[in-house]
Structure 1
Amino acid sequence: MESKSFVGVVKLDLSLRMVDGMDCTVASRFYGPGWCGGEPFFVAGDPNNPTAEEDDGYLVTYVHNENVGESKFLVMDAKSPMLDIVAVVKLPCWTPCGFHGIFLSESDLNKL
């Protein structure tokens, strides 16, 4: 049976497709059997650095294991070819697959 959940995330460089017509996948992370993820979100490593590369930062998402009912918050290195996990937080309650989040800087939050 094919899963309708997000079972991983891939990073694409669309400029590669334009140059040689090849696969533009430059990084990927699959969550593993039973795990599904929410919508990934990019968090800049230093949002105030205008010279930072576009992937200087972290990819964050919620994941849930449908087999054991465990949920985690993952932080991945956005520059890594395997989107290496740099931090994991076990969540105290179930977080559904496809859960959406929003992340704001302190200055943006203060504007609300």
Structure 2
Amino acid sequence: MLADDHSIPKCAWVVKLDLDVSSDGGESMVACRMYGPNCYDGEPFFVAREPENLNAKEDDGYVVSFVHDEKTRESRFLVMDAKSQQLDIVVVFKLPRRIPYGFHGLFVKESDLQKLY
């Protein structure tokens, strides 16, 4: 049985930062997605659109995260466009079970999985 651990910080949004901003005082936050009232995420993760393309831009891909609505008790897996300023949602998968805060995932290429067989 899982119980809520109130010592785990809850994040109600994800923010994309540009760490190359020079010391000219430019804004380092370049994108933000608020999840809505009572909604908190696990750890957002970047997934490249074309992992094999070494010439791809660094934000050419998706930000993915598990989000839980504490009021409705619904859990979702969000896929967001990493290039958009609002981290536009590409697709939402409703999950049959709650994903605990702090859950970690690992994304691998299919070709790497094939090497395991």
Fold shared by both chains (TM-score > 0.5): yes
Q: 1:50 deviation in Å?
A: 1.9
Q: Taking every aligned residue pair, what percent have the same amino acid on both sides?
A: 58
Q: Does 1:95 align with 2:93?
A: no
Shift of 1:67: 1.1
2:47 aligned partner: 43
Is 1:5 matched with 2:10?
Answer: yes
Q: 2:34 aligns with which of 30, 36, 41?
A: 30
How many residues align structurally?
109
Structure-2 residue corresponding to 1:14: 19
Which has the larger share of helix? 1
CA distance in 2, matches of 1:39, 1:26: 19
Q: Which residue among 59, 62, 67 is the counterpart of 1:58?
A: 62
SS in 1 for 2:53: coil
**Any stretches of 5+ residues in structure 2 without a counterpart?**
1-7
